[in-house]
Amino acid sequence: MLLLLAACVIGCSRKKNTFISRNWHAVTAEYNTLFNGNMALELGKEELNQTYRDNYWDILPVERMQVSETVLAPGTSINPNFEVAEEKAVKAIQRHSMLLDGSEKNPQIDEAYLLLGKARYYDQRFVPALEAFNYILHKYPLSNTINEAKIWREKSNIRLEFNELAIKNLKKMLKNEKLEKENRANANAMLAEAYLNIGARDSAVAPLKKAAKLTDNKDEEGRYWFITGQLYDRLEQRDSSNYAYSQVIDLNRKIPRIYLVNAKIAQIRNTDLSPEKKAVVLEQLLDLSGDRENRPYLDQIYFELAEFHYQQDSINLAMDYYNRSLASPSENAYLQSLDYESLGNINFDAANYEIAGAYYDSTLQKLAQNTREYRLIKKKRDNLGDVIYYENLSRELDSVLIIAKLPEEEQREFFTAYTAELRERMESEAGKEEQAQNAQNYFETKRTGLPGVPTPGNTFYFYNPTTVAYGKQEFFRLWGNRELADNWRTGSRMAATAGLDSIGRNELAENDPRLDPETYLKRIPKDPALLDSLVQERNFANYQLGLIYREKFKENGLAAEKLESVLANDPEERLVIPSMYNLYKTYIELGELAKAQSLKNDIIFRFPDSRYAAILQDPKSLLQDENNPTALYEEVYQLYEDQQYAEVIERAGGLASEFAGDEIVPKLELLKAMAQGRLLGVESYKEGLNYVALNYPQSLEGIKAQEILQTALPTIANPVFKNDSLASSFKLVFPFEITEKSKAEELKKIITNSLEKLNYSEIKASVDVYGPQQIFVVVHNFRSPENALGYAELLEKSKENKVTRKSFYISAENYRIAQIHKNIDTYLETLNPPQ
């Protein structure tokens, strides 16, 4: 027996080309290693199909596989089943390959390499997969898997974006090779995929139709016909498209239901909504929604119903079905984004901008950030930011001002009614909570009649008189004496609340300031100056809304309403002319020419020297005017670059008032804040940034100001000087009064000439503004205090241009702190007395 076993082992050696050896290794590889590998591959493919989500609003890919952009670490896998399949393929090759004299004697090894390539392909390692398929083509030219390997090679090329190469090879293969039916179907399908990838949709139709007719896989057949219908849709060939969708529908239960539902929806979309066909289309959609088998796809069906009603201007019905679509269980984030976007558009068209903004926010959450759709919605949402902010501000200020104008008796009456309503709501909520708690206690008892005391056994509730009596008592306490009738819950509210703890309610009323009208009456502003400031703030908000509605959204009716409100409520002088001018332009666009002419005459008569009057009298002057906002801003910015900070503050403030409402104003205000910081220090800078952030929160400048306040300012808030001995860069500073600017410039020239003669190329001189009354001549980039003092001594002993002016050294870091906090006197007194 042992001899026989030894003979078998020796006979099965991979190094001997015997009948027993060939067949033993072939059978073992096929029915053991490769069988398990192929099983693992199928499990992995099934998991991929379950997690993949098709987007039926775009042309479907021929192959259902999502290529991940995530780069996997070495040794990791997308799916462990593919890793197992690859391991089995490698194991089959290592243990059962019989490569003798350059020829493979085991007929299953080519199958192993095919499995290896497929496992790598589905694991999205396309280059190693291509290597496996090419190995079959080069080493096994007579293999019965050669054609399948060629198709998988081209699939890998397509994934690697070598679409033209794949098209060339597949066309050659389809023309010259005698392919089996399924291989021909797969080759045509991949040819169509390559054409789709290069945008040649018309070229993709023919091979895709051939693939649909040749394949024996009904799932693939349904998918191919559906994609064919989508392609005909894009090519605007409706009859051909509907024929392709009919092929999908004819497959009925042989294919996944989702193809059938979407094919029917696509056919409905292709129907012309003529008056006689509207009822038919609606009936078809309602039939789809009523079919029990279509319940998993109600989100899509309701969306189509919403679209149908929207096209018929039945806005309320459309909104109802969009909301139904959202309420239906769904994993389709793109469909949900369409629902939210449609609801946002409806509210946008109705000028409900705040609600529209909320819907657009929800839309953005459902879209990938790197998509075109996301960018378009984001831009639209950003444009709504100003509207939402100023509408909320205007509404809040309006409510405060309206209440403030009421007589005291009416104010008290208003807040008494408000607190009574609030009390009722709070009592109702408290009652509901108490009812819920009692119900929980009631049903959690173990049927003893004593809440919270457990009892063994399964005594039925109604067989225990104690628990029945307790239940009746609890019902009476909660609901009162109710008559046996329909809708008993909505009977007398008095009876329902009779059992509530009145003592606790009274304590709530006495202690909760929200229920006391005096809480609100005390907060009503009464100071005339404060009320005036609220009026002006509301006017400014309405002015901004008027410009936004006219310029961004072309809502001229709303724009006119807001601008008229500004002019009717005693606006600040800076808002009067801009409001009149923009209202004039709004009236022109509305076609109200008489009102427009009246305003034009009023502006020219009352403000003849204004730029608006000049524009109205000669529109071409706007193009020729060197004093337009942009040109003036550039002038002021140049002053800033020249360190003329006081003039920047004055001119920027004046121009901001003159161009109130213009988009240049936030830029001027931010520039003014920066000049204040340079001239007056960090506190003034902070104050200016706060003004920009609060008054122009939606502008780029307002956002930038808020960012500086939150991130940059905290890092420079500490005014404490550092120890100079730790520094590596120092400056020599010569102080001057602002009236001595010419002397400062002269000293700078002397120092510059001196540095050139001494060949000190790294050391530079500048004139820096320190404060409203003081400037510095600064010599930069000394490596130590001794170097700085040595150079000061050199200047003092110079025979040509002797410099006797007092100076001091300071580290670069401490100079920065002094400029930010304007505390150079503290530095001189405590750390480094003047030389």
Which of the residue ranges 7-11, 469-473, 563-567, 689-693 would you say has the lowest mean pLDDT? Answer: 7-11
- Give the helix/strand (H/E) hosting 441: helix 408-444
Residue 63 pLDDT: 87
Query: Are residue 431 and residue 503 in the same domain, yes or no?
Result: yes
Residue 828 pLDDT: 85
Distance CA 30, CA 182 (A): 22
Give the mean pLDDT of 610-639. 74
Query: What is the number of domains present in the chain?
Result: 5
pLDDT of residue 457 exceeding 50: no
CB 562 within 8 A of CB 543: yes
Distance CA 36, CA 30 (A): 9
Residue 12 pLDDT: 54
Query: Are residue 693 and residue 748 in the same domain, yes or no?
Result: no
Query: Are residue 733 and residue 770 in the same domain, yes or no?
Result: yes
Query: Are residue 57 and residue 111 in the same domain, yes or no?
Result: yes
Between helix 333-349 and helix 353-366 the angle, nearest 10°, is: 170
Query: Are residue 667 and residue 737 in the same domain, yes or no?
Result: no
Domain assignment of residue 218, yes or no = no
Domain assignment of residue 314, yes or no = no
Give the mean pLDDT of 1-14. 48
Give the mean pLDDT of 39-60. 83
Residue of higher predicted confidence among 339 and 34: 339
Residue 687 pLDDT: 87
pLDDT of residue 666 exceeding 80: yes
Residue 227 pLDDT: 93
Which of the residue ranges 30-44, 476-490, 800-814 would you say has the lowest mean pLDDT? Answer: 476-490
**Model confidence, pTM:** 0.62
pLDDT of residue 281 exceeding 70: yes
Which of the residue ranges 131-140, 237-246, 459-468 would you say has the lowest mean pLDDT? Answer: 459-468
CB 764 within 8 A of CB 801: no
Query: Are residue 474 and residue 550 in the same domain, yes or no?
Result: no
Give the mean pLDDT of 532-561. 87
Task: Find, among 698, 639, 707, the residue nearest to 671 by Cα.
Answer: 639
Residue of higher predicted confidence among 434 and 160: 160
Residue 305 pLDDT: 92
Residue 446 pLDDT: 45
Neighbours of 527 (CB within 10 A): 8
CATH number at residue 587: 1.25.40
Residue 118 pLDDT: 86
Residue 591 pLDDT: 92
Distance CA 122, CA 129 (A): 9
pLDDT of residue 461 exceeding 60: no
pLDDT of residue 505 exceeding 50: no
Domain assignment of residue 812, yes or no = yes
- Give the helix/strand (H/E) hosting 737: strand 730-737
Residue 588 pLDDT: 92
Assign 704 a pLDDT band (cuts: 50, 70, 90).
Answer: confident
Query: Are residue 503 and residue 574 in the same domain, yes or no?
Result: no
Distance CA 741, CA 642 (A): 13
Domain final residue, candidates 624, 639, 656: 624
Assign 1 a pLDDT band (cuts: 50, 70, 90).
Answer: very low
CB 769 within 8 A of CB 678: yes
Distance CA 524, CA 546 (A): 28
675: Cβ contacts below 8 Å, ≥ 6 apart? 640, 645, 646, 648, 649, 652
Residue 4 pLDDT: 44
Domain final residue, candidates 590, 624, 658: 624
pLDDT of residue 441 exceeding 70: no
> What are the tens digits of pLDDT across the range 285-296?
899 888 898 898
Query: Are residue 732 and residue 670 in the same domain, yes or no?
Result: no
pLDDT of residue 212 exceeding 60: yes
Assign 492 a pLDDT band (cuts: 50, 70, 90).
Answer: very low
> What are the tens digits of pLDDT across the range 308-337?
999 888 899 999 999 999 998 888 888 999
Query: Are residue 10 and residue 104 in the same domain, yes or no?
Result: yes
pLDDT of residue 9 exceeding 50: no
Containing structural domain, residue 614: 528-624
Q: What angle do CA 115, 116, 119 make, to 5 degrees?
A: 80
816: Cβ contacts below 8 Å, ≥ 6 apart? none
Distance CA 376, CA 139 (A): 53
Task: For residue 384, give the amino acid letter.
Answer: L
Percent of the chain residues past pLDDT 70, beyond the cut: 82
Residue 487 pLDDT: 59
Domain assignment of residue 201, yes or no = no
Q: What angle do CA 652, 654, 658 make, to 5 degrees?
A: 115
Residue 113 pLDDT: 82
Query: Are residue 618 and residue 671 in the same domain, yes or no?
Result: no
Q: Residue holding tokens 């194991």?
A: 91
| Residues comprising the chain, all counted | 835
Q: What angle do CA 168, 173, 174 make, to 5 degrees?
A: 105
Assign 431 a pLDDT band (cuts: 50, 70, 90).
Answer: low
Residue 565 pLDDT: 92
Domain assignment of residue 142, yes or no = no
pLDDT of residue 454 exceeding 50: no
Give the mean pLDDT of 658-667. 77
> What are the tens digits of pLDDT across the range 61-94?
988 887 766 555 556 666 788 888 888 877 777 7
pLDDT of residue 481 exceeding 90: no
Which of the residue ranges 5-14, 660-669, 708-717 would you say has the lowest mean pLDDT? Answer: 5-14
Assign 247 a pLDDT band (cuts: 50, 70, 90).
Answer: very high
Residue 207 pLDDT: 92
Distance CA 371, CA 368 (A): 6
Residue 519 pLDDT: 85
Residue 7 pLDDT: 43
pLDDT of residue 721 exceeding 70: yes
Average pLDDT over the chain reads: 81
- Give the helix/strand (H/E) hosting 475: helix 465-479
Considering just the CA atoms, what is the radius of gyration of the chain in Å?
41
pLDDT of residue 151 exceeding 60: yes
Give the tokens for residue 77.
């896998």
Domain assignment of residue 682, yes or no = yes
Give the tokens for residue 455.
């009892």
Distance CA 143, CA 133 (A): 12
> What are the tens digits of pLDDT across the range 113-142?
888 888 888 888 888 888 888 888 888 877
Residue 495 pLDDT: 40
Domain assignment of residue 272, yes or no = no
Range among 23-37, 95-109, 244-258 rated most confident: 244-258
CATH number at residue 764: 3.30.70
Domain assignment of residue 256, yes or no = no
Task: Find, among 192, 289, 208, the residue nearest to 248 by Cα.
Answer: 208
Query: Are residue 11 and residue 115 in the same domain, yes or no?
Result: yes
Distance CA 807, CA 28 (A): 95
Which contacts of 101-106 are long-range, i.e. CB under 8 A and separated by 24 or more positions?
Answer: 104/139, 104/140, 105/17, 105/21, 105/22, 106/22, 106/25, 106/26, 106/29
Based on the number of CB atoms within 10 Å of its own CB, is 67 exposed (0-12), middle (13-18) or buried (19 or more)?
exposed
Q: Give start and end residues of each alpha helix (H) in 29-162.
A: 34-51, 80-96, 109-122, 126-139, 146-159
pLDDT of residue 826 exceeding 50: yes
Task: For residue 379, give the amino acid letter.
Answer: K
Assign 594 a pLDDT band (cuts: 50, 70, 90).
Answer: very high
Assign 567 a pLDDT band (cuts: 50, 70, 90).
Answer: very high
> What are residue 779's DSSP bridge partners?
732, 765
Query: Are residue 548 and residue 603 in the same domain, yes or no?
Result: yes
Residue of higher predicted confidence among 464 and 679: 679
* Cα atoms in the 13 Å half-sphere on the side-chain side of 25: 29
CB 258 within 8 A of CB 297: yes
Residue 101 pLDDT: 57
85: Cβ contacts below 8 Å, ≥ 6 apart? 37, 38, 40, 41, 44, 115, 118, 119
Domain final residue, candidates 696, 716, 736: 716
Residue 696 pLDDT: 74
Give the mean pLDDT of 12-39. 66
pLDDT of residue 225 exceeding 90: yes
